[in-house]
Structure 1
Amino acid sequence: MTDTAGLRGALADSIGSPGWRQALEATPRELFLGDAVYRADQSRGDLWTPVRRAEVGEDEWLALVYADATVVTQVGGVMAEQASGVVRGSPTSSSTLPSLVVLMLEAAQIAEGDKVLEIGTGTGYSTSLMCHRLGQEAVTSIEYDQEVAARAGKAIAEAGYTPTLVVGDGLHGYDENAEYDRIIATCSVRTIPPAWMWQVRASGTITAPMWGWMGGVAFAHLAMADDGTASGRFLEDDLYFMTARSHLPPLRPPIVTGIGDARESRIDPAVLDEETAVFVAQLAAPAAQWAKGEDLTILLDVGTGSRADVRPDPNGGWTVHQHGPVRLWDDVEEAILTWDGAGRPHQSLFGLTVSRDRQYVWLGEPDGPAWNLPA
């Protein structure tokens, strides 16, 4: 086997994290990528071609492995090793770029002495980094997909570690090893699962990328209080990971426009071209999905059948049509205008508070403007 110590050292140099340097130098990333990965088609984003280690030169393979880039290992539930040709679909498992893995670990403030629950084992690379630094007995990791979990377990063992590995729904946590000092999610969630709140100790933390059905993102880092609530501002980095499968939106039916009550829109729908604006709009209409066409913005709430579409008016401005029990665009307008009045701040000026009965995002301070996350 090729000695990759130099490549690991170069990767550690490029990331520049003193706390995680030794773990990066000690952990061969090639163990966690198996014998094949997917390469994206340059012309179509839903086509993926397997690249097999045996069919490319060792130099090319290791260059791929040690690039600071995300490598897709499963598409539509099909592992790259199993693919007989081009696969169509969306990635369902990957090895996240190492610099982002380290950024997550640093954001979670994980350090020696911590007991950690990782939601989403994936390839097992981040699991092994934590095992090296914390000791394998301090790490518990949960993976939903059985095939992904099996391959990760083999790679982690080959790296020399035997942490607690669980196959199951990470949204339920793993209470057998609780309480944890840190819970860290390597998948995006729509809301904070209640089980995590019960399994992290007072003054412990929950760190998780947040994602909603309109595509808005924020990076949550919450501290647990003695009263069982958790709260914290979103971090400055806008991270996105594959979404927990049970938090994905329902299938969207065919879109029909121009029905319902019509009025003039108070905001330019082009504001949704800004990432933070999408995040804000999503707070106001958390059950809505967003679609965009030429000169057309559409919101659709599958559960209630509510919908809104906005398009330019020939006489100037924009006309919105709304139909159904929830006036989606009314709610989005109010949130966008509130955000605009506050100076259009980034997500990091917002925060999240989670209690037993409510999860809400606030602007500025916990007693400022607030929006409930879906139950």
Structure 2
Amino acid sequence: MNDDDKALRMALANQLAAGGYLRTAPWQAAVEAVPRHAFLRGGFFEQVTGSTPTAWRPVMPHDPNWLRRCYDDDSLVTQIAGTIVPRDIRGEILRAPTSSSTMPGLVVRMLEELQVDYGHRVLEIGTGTGYSTGLLCHRLGDDHVTSVDVDEDVAGRARIALGDTGFHPRILTGDGLTGDPDGTPYDRLIATCGVVDLPYAWVEQTRPGGIILATLCGWLHSSELARLTVGEDGTARGRFLGGQISFMLARPQLPPPLGMLPDLDDGDAHPTSLAPDILDDWNTRFVAQLAAPKAQHISLDRNGRTEHVLIDVSAGAWASLFQDRDRYGDGWTVRQGGPARLWDAVEAHVARWRADGAPALERFEVVVTSEGQTVTWPKG
């Protein structure tokens, strides 16, 4: 480490402390000590400004801005399309990101929210570049940290970067949704990927009184960070912490391809009291997502108008919303098909939430048992 690295680490720590993300001395010391750039030596991708669809181009260590950018409070994409890393590209690429170095402010906020103490054993789901793993090792010691990543190449690069910075935690390759049954019980479990359904395996592998920190997502792309405490009865219970947290979904829980669209002119049509712009609001979209957890949303220009379509591929259900001014003026019409009426379910769920005063997501309760996951809000 040279003086430039040290100055950048100190500046990042001070920035995160001023922003309220760093709140305790042990985590401040970890950020000051662990070099983020050491986990980005393979470069990262930056978004090409103004590109549609989004294009990405590599930024490598020989770039004069690389080191400074490593210490910005930004998420930096490190893998695209499941296999492509920055050194593979000369120019631009239009595929979707699949791995990244999460913005440090979010990393340290989550580590603070994890409420670890000396002696705690932590299971991290999603190793990524290994930077957050390094912070955990600095705080707790290598022997108290296990990290799992689904991607063997990602895990391998993280293991090398951690070793180069003097850390040697237990790094596993496999499906993080199954956790680490051989290492139980853990005092804390933290997931750096989003999940639609929190796996009960995580609850089983966390001791009673232990904490699980994970981001609950859905295919409508509204998500919240939840902190759950495991009870003696094997139930995990907790609340959302707020802040509109987003992570890439765990790969086994990614939505399926839409495939061939259904006949959107078929099905039953009726007026609806909810316009599709409710999906523009984060909280309302989260509530809608609870009613249609496997639905995806797309917009189409057809029949001379924009139609907003929800599709549940596995159920074979769909709903298309559009304005039929000849029949209903400026109101909205919904046409639905398949075994379930997706928009009717959304409409009823949002109406109940609003009737109860539209409580903030931080007041919702999350419960995970062996039977599954439920998310509810206080009534009235």
Fold match by TM threshold 0.5: yes
1:343 alignment partner, one of 353, 357, 360: 357
Partner of 2:180: 174
| Offset at residue 288 of structure 1 (A) | 1.2
Q: Is the 8 A contact 2:44 2:86 kept in 1?
A: yes
1:84 alignment partner, one of 77, 90, 100: 90
Matched, 1:356 2:364: no
Separation in 2, partners of 1:248, 1:35: 26
Separation in 2, partners of 1:318, 1:87: 38
Q: For residue 220 of structure 2, what is the amino acid of its counterpart?
A: M
RMSD: 1.6
Higher mean alpha-carbon deviation, 125-134 vs 90-99, is at: 90-99
Q: Secondary structure at the match of 1:243?
A: coil
TM-score, normalised to structure 1, is 0.93
Higher mean alpha-carbon deviation, 298-307 vs 342-351, is at: 342-351
2:252 alignment partner, one of 239, 246, 249: 246
Q: Is the 8 A contact 2:359 2:377 kept in 1?
A: no
Matched, 1:46 2:60: no
Partner of 1:9: 10
Separation in 1, partners of 2:372, 2:314: 21
Q: Deviations over 1:178-197 (max 9, x none)?
A: 11111000000011112111
Q: Is the 8 A contact 2:200 2:372 kept in 1?
A: no
Partner of 1:327: 341
- The ranges of structure 1 where at least 4 consecutive aligned residues each deviate by more than 6 angstroms after the TM superposition are none
Point out where structure 2 has 5 or more consecutive residues left out of the alignment: none
Partner of 1:227: 233
2:66 alignment partner, one of 57, 61, 65: 61
Q: Deviations over 1:261-289 (max 9, x none)?
A: 11111322222211111111111111211
Separation in 2, partners of 1:39, 1:268: 35
Point out where structure 1 has 5 or more consecutive residues left out of the alignment: 370-375
Within-5 A mapping of 1:15-54: 15-16=16-17, 17=22, 18-19=24-25, 20-44=27-51, 45-54=53-62
Q: Is the 8 A contact 1:262 1:319 kept in 2?
A: yes
Separation in 1, partners of 2:150, 2:188: 20
Separation in 2, partners of 1:240, 1:306: 27
Q: Is the 8 A contact 1:258 1:309 kept in 2?
A: no
2:299 alignment partner, one of 286, 292, 312: 292
Q: For residue 299 of structure 2, what is the amino acid of its counterpart?
A: K
Separation in 1, partners of 2:31, 2:240: 27
Sequence identity (%): 42
Q: For residue 63 of structure 1, what is the amino acid of its counterpart?
A: R
Separation in 1, partners of 2:176, 2:101: 18
Q: Deviations over 1:106-131 (max 9, x none)?
A: 12222322210000000000000010
User: May I ask how many residue pairs the two structures share in their alignment?
Assistant: 363
Separation in 2, partners of 1:277, 1:254: 28
Separation in 1, partners of 2:168, 2:309: 49
Matched, 1:70 2:70: no
Separation in 1, partners of 2:70, 2:277: 39
Partner of 2:280: 273
Separation in 1, partners of 2:324, 2:94: 39
Q: For residue 62 of structure 1, what is the amino acid of its counterpart?
A: L
Separation in 2, partners of 1:335, 1:112: 43
Within-5 A mapping of 1:310-325: 310-314=321-325, 315-316=328-329, 317-325=331-339
TM-score, normalised to structure 2, is 0.92
Q: Deviations over 1:129-155 (max 9, x none)?
A: 010011111100001111111110000
Q: For residue 34 of structure 2, what is the amino acid of its counterpart?
A: T
Partner of 1:209: 215
